[in-house]
Amino acid sequence: MRALTVAPGQKDSIRLEDRPEPQSDPACALVEALALGVCGTDMEIIHGDYGWAPDGEDRLILGHESLGRVLEAPAGSDLKVGDLVVGIVRRPDPVPCPACGAGEWDMCRNGLYTERGIKQRHGYGAERWLIEPDFAVEVDPALGLLGVLLEPTSVVAKAWDHIERIGARTRSWRPNRVLVTGAGPVGLLAAMISRQKGLETHVFDRNDTGPKPGLVADIGATWRGGDIAGLKDLNPTVVIECTGADAVVMGAITGLGEDAIVCLAGVSSGGRKVDFDVGGFNRQAVLSNDVVFGTVNANRAHYQAAAGALAKADRGWLSRLITRRVALDHWRDAFNKRDDDVKVVIDFGKLAQA
């Protein structure tokens, strides 16, 4: 079978190569790949900045945003042949730490977790892959290709879960205005969930060309361009930061409303120094009871919440998030970013049957 692999730590080592078929495992489902989403983490791995191969191996099968169809299902599992499924990315550590032991492997405390297509575990960028039923999430067949959006949606489903848990520290907290920074797939999906909750939602992005402003408007949110500093008077009670850009991060954690919550969901590259009024931020955060927290990955409950959010979403709007479908034979095109890209998906050529 064919698979997209990289040598982690080596820049531009990605290639499409022949790999052995997955070895049969009665405890796992055999899945044929339908689609694979491409995201910034994949690009970091391809550039040699991130990623780890499985122990004892030199190469890693890439890909963590999956969509597949079950070919063989383990006896006694809830999975059936023909089911559409998405594979959960992270696996708990073998110790396990208290979080992993409670099924919250996204909150692993000792760093011994593994991740499909990222950290010490082969990903979903192969024509066929195995998965344990506990780490396979069923997708509504009506979603078809759009099921590949489940993994990025799970990230913001977790963000919203934690925002609401933090907000529940007081009985009186109610979000009245939401600011999402970054109109990439994660930011747009965060805004989608915000609008599903009936909240006034603003989306900031420095690139105001292409399809993004229209996507924001069509879910009833407000587009905000220009400079993040121009939003000082917005006073949001919830900010979901999805860019990781230094200036945007600083803008996101200042100029907040009372009892505001900032979720940092974008990863910064680090190594850059910027001027920042630490004392002023401290004063604001303390006197306004503000909270800033980070979030990464998701557990099964968040994937299930994401599935519910996608099921409620307008299918036409979701389909516009996928701006390019690239055939596996032309896989290189998927990793060449274009200015009007939102979500790029590698098509394994099986979707007509899905």
Is 90 exceeded by the pLDDT of residue 304? yes
pLDDT in tens, 254-287: 877 788 999 999 987 766 777 788 888 888 888 8
Specify the pTM: 0.95
Q: How far apart are CA 230 and CA 287, in angstroms?
A: 23
Per-residue pLDDT averaged across 279-303, rounded?
Answer: 91
pLDDT tens for each residue of 6-44: 999 999 999 999 999 999 899 999 999 999 999 999 999
- Biggest alpha carbon distance in the chain? 60
> Residue 155 and residue 334: Cα distance in Å, rounded?
22
210-222 burial code (b ≥16 CB/10 A, e <16):
bbbbebbeebebe
Domain ranges for the chain: 2-138+315-353, 154-294
Q: For residue 353, what are the CA distances in angstroms to 15, 66, 80, 213, 347?
A: 27, 17, 16, 33, 12
Instruction: Note whether 177 and 237 are within 8 A (CB).
Output: yes
**Three-state SS for 199?**
coil
Report the pLDDT averaged over residues 140-159. 97
Q: Are strands 2-6 and 60-61 parallel, antiparallel or unpaired?
A: antiparallel
Q: The domain 2-138+315-353 is classified under which CATH number: 3.30.479.30, 3.90.180.10, 3.40.50.150, 3.30.70.2740?
A: 3.90.180.10
If one looks up domain 154-294 in CATH, what number appears?
Answer: 3.40.50.720
Instruction: Give the angle subtended at the CA of 65 by the CAs of 11 and 50, to the nearest 5°.
Output: 25
Q: If you average pLDDT over residues 279-306, what whole number do you get?
A: 92
Rounded-to-integer distance, Cα 40 and Cα 45, Å: 9
φ, ψ for residue 250 (rounded to 5)? -60, -40
Question: What burial letters (b/e) apply to 183-198, b meaning 16+ CB within 10 Å?
Answer: bbbbbbbbbbbbbeee
Q: How confident is the model at residue 354 (pLDDT cuts 50, 70, 90)?
A: very low
**Mean pLDDT of all residues belonging to the chain:** 94
- Residue 122 pLDDT greater than 50, yes or no: yes
